[in-house]
Every structure is written in C-alpha cells, then in structure tokens.
Amino acid sequence: MKMTLDERETNLFFNERDKTVQIVSYDKRLNKRLRNLAQLRPKECKPIPYYFDDENGAESYSFPSTWLKINPPKVSTMTAEEREKKAELMRAMNKQKKEREVEE
C-alpha cells in the first residue's frame, strides 16, 4: 500500500550506551547517501535488511554515533551595504578571471 508524504518518516534510534545509530528512512536522497557510505565503508555503515520496505522506499542502516551531527546554517551578521560591497568585489574578481582565461 502506497504511503502518503506524512507517513514517510525518518527515524533515528540510539542511546547513550551504544556506539551506533540505527536509522530507518523513506528519504530518497538520504538513503542514496547511506547506500554509498555502506559501499565505501562497509565496516562502519551497514544495511539492516529486515527494516527495508521496497514498496515505499524505506531503507535502514547502522552507523557510528560519532557521525551524527547537527549543523545549523550560519547566520549572517553583514549589513546590506557590506553584502553589496562583497558582491561587487566578487563580480570584479570573476571579470578578471574571465579576462585571464580569454588571454590564455
């Protein structure tokens, strides 16, 4: 049975004693990333086959808890004037770069 977007969750399971995280996810991008990690680093990132749901795209993996990080985006403290100055500087640098490429 096809699931709605609200039902397609990502769940993390870990505690303070264990050194691994188990993740069950329907997110295609995250699953692709985990699949690639499992191929590149099979000793650290392992698929958990009994949590797979082929019909709806769920996959499950186990990986070291040290890999789990929360990285919020940086908050800019630049004023509009500072942003415009930096943008102008970047435009000038890009123009110089293009001129050098044409000369070569």
Q: Summarize pLDDT for 24-67 with one digit per residue, the tens.
A: 999 999 999 999 999 999 999 999 987 767 777 889 999 999 99
Residues 6+ apart with CB under 8 A from 58: 8, 24, 25, 26, 51, 52
**Tens-digit pLDDT profile for residues 69-90:** 999 998 888 899 999 999 999 9
pLDDT of residue 45: 96
Write down the domain spans for the chain: 10-67
Q: Can you tell me the distance from the alpha carbon of 58 to that of 19, in angstroms, rounded to the nearest whole number?
A: 23
